[in-house]
Amino acid sequence: ALARGKVLFEPGDDVHTTYFPCQRTMVSLLIVTRDGREVEAATIGRESAVGGIVSEGHKPAFGRAVVQVPGSAFVIATSHLEAAKLGSTRFGDLFSRYADALLAQMMQGVACNALHSVEERCARWLLATHDRAGDHLIQLTQESLAEMLGVQRTTVSAVTSALAARGLIKTLRGRVEILDRKGLERVACECYEAVEDHFARLLPEVDI
């Protein structure tokens, strides 16, 4: 099992292992600055895998991969994955389409971080996590959420308190419970729907 906070790889590491998160397990791909700050670039759940998915071969990692929601995962040597891609046109096409979906998620994230409020982005992140974790109760600290959104912890505290006051979520120690998903969808920016719709068009056979 993958514990919360486990680092799967760091920037510059040679990636020799691919992780396929199972059920509620979720991994964040983080960009780390020279002064140690980090911000989430993509969220990976049971719909895909981490490590050697986009690159061909053992390329060095650009970011940090950290387990956000603990759970199990299938693990395979990246070399075996590459052999499977080469041996099956259909398999290779699947990962090619996923690479497009991952790029779209990152591109939409750039626009989201620049144009939308922290409250909108927080609602989007909670919805995406709920999709992948499949549970209304998400193991999440305010510190972790602040790191994912690239903002101060006090800002996240104010935003989550506002969402809780409207009956959308309930904040617990180290956890957030989603009470009103439809309400969160109304708060979230357009980025949530845009990314999910694009993924569904590219990979209709994969259920998030």
Q: Where are the domains of the chain?
A: 7-88, 117-188
pTM of the model: 0.84
3-class DSSP assignment, residue 18:
strand
Q: What is the mean pLDDT of residues 41-46?
A: 89
Q: What is the mean pLDDT of residues 126-138?
A: 87
Decide: residue 196, CB within 10 A, 0-12 exposed, 13-18 middle, 19+ buried. Answer: middle
Q: What is the mean pLDDT of residues 51-60?
A: 69
Rounded to the nearest integer, the mean pLDDT of the chain is 89
Q: What is the mean pLDDT of residues 94-112?
A: 90
Query: What's the number of CA atoms in the CB half-sphere (13 Å) around residue 207?
Result: 5
Which stretch of 13-22, 127-136, 170-179 has the lowest confidence by average pLDDT?
127-136
CATH superfamily of 7-88: Jelly Rolls (2.60.120.10)
Residue 79 to residue 11: CA distance in whole angstroms: 20
Report whether pLDDT(206) > 80.
no
Report whether pLDDT(54) > 70.
no
Q: What is the mean pLDDT of residues 119-136?
A: 90
Instruction: Tell me which of 3.30.465.10, 3.40.50.300, 1.10.3720.10, 1.10.10.10 is the CATH number of domain 117-188.
Output: 1.10.10.10
Decide: residue 46, CB within 10 A, 0-12 exposed, 13-18 middle, 19+ buried. Answer: buried
Percent of the chain predicted with pLDDT > 90: 47
Report whether pLDDT(38) > 80.
yes
Q: What is the pLDDT of residue 147?
A: 87
Q: What is the mean pLDDT of residues 89-117?
A: 90
